[in-house]
Amino acid sequence: MSAPILSAREVRLNLGGHEILHGISLDFEPHRIHAILGPNGCGKTTLIKALCGATKLSHGEVRLDGESISRLSASAMARKMAVVWQGGHITGDITVRRLVSYGRYAHLPWWQLRPPAHDQAVEQAMARTGVLPMAERRVETLSGGERQRVWLAAALAQEPQLLLLDEPTTYLDIAHQIDILELVRDLNQTMGLTVIAVLHDLTQAARYCDHCVVMGDGRVLRQGSPDQALSWSAVAQDFAVDSWVTHDPDGQRPVIQPRRRMRDTDPETWPSTMPAELHHKQR
């Protein structure tokens, strides 16, 4: 494994007087797409906040390229890492081009407000995400899918090595979900961008990601390739869902079709409690 671009060591984090993350240690390899998965409320967004330094840790450390993020300035971090939050909101009269150009702040030297490379990076980010045709439109007039692309463009304008995405497909119809995930994969393959994305759809995670981290109750329950992390028994134990798990014909990635909730997720008890048809499933 190459040296991690981002790593968490024994990360604990309190919110509202409760410990939400209970000692998380993770390594994220560069140039790969990592999925953060898990049931509602298990701490995925909180983990993203911890990884990008948006919330103070109560214990542990996050390292970006080997350096503790607690010692990095905001602009030093922003030159390496960009974050797109879930359904980002914008108020006020701001055009797409202006919003995307905000992504350049970390790169602007104090003596020169708009070096040529600044405008070029903004145009390139808009071109890559397909928002150039709407560059002069006001962001608040865009649809949810268009807005998601604009936030992604602002993140790309930062020219980061690492992109953190919190549920990038929320509020999008299925075609726009695929558009965003294809774009993320393209950025990963053509620019070597490392991506860490919180996702809910297990089949999409399996299809687009190299490494899956499954969380439960503020802890990492398991991690590995899509095949390791999203087998039938893994999905049964971690999500309490009985599913059909097959493989897609092109990439041979797992396809997970949820069938019903399971009441008992303890594998020790499955033979006595599961309906007979489930006994034959892949374990």
Q: Please give the residue ranges that form the binding site for ligand ATP (CB under 6 A).
A: 15-16, 20, 38, 40-46
- Least distance in angstroms from the C-beta of 265 to ligand ATP: 18
State which residue, 15 or 117, has the beta carbon closest to ligand ATP: 15
Give the separation between CA 85 and CA 165, rounded to whole angstroms: 6
* Minimum gap (Å) between residue 233 Cβ and ligand ATP: 22
- Inter-residue contact 45 to 86 (CB < 8 Å): yes
**Please, which residue, 125 or 229, has the CB nearer to ligand ATP?**
229
Cβ closest to ligand ATP, residue 14 vs residue 95: 14
Min CB(123)–ligand ATP separation in Å: 34
Closest C-alpha to 147, from 158, 161, 131: 131
The tokens describing 32, both together, are 């790969």
Q: Which residue is nearest to ligand ATP (CB)?
A: 16
Comparing CB distances to ligand ATP, the nearer of 39 and 145 is 39
Q: Which is nearer to ligand ATP, 161 or 204 (CB)?
A: 204
DSSP state of 132: G
Helix, strand, coil shares, percent, the chain, to 5? 40, 25, 35
Question: Residue 142 gets which letter from DSSP?
Answer: S
Shortest Cβ 90–ligand ATP spacing (Å): 20
Kind and range of the H or E run holding 232: helix 232-239
Alpha carbon distance 180, 152 (integer Å): 9
| Minimum distance of ligand ATP from residue 142's CB (angstroms) | 23
Cβ 40 to ligand ATP shortest distance, Å: 3
Residue 146, CB half-sphere, CA atoms under 13 Å: how many?
15
Where is 60: in which H helix or E strand? strand 59-64
Output 43 or 226, the one with its CB closest to ligand ATP. Answer: 43
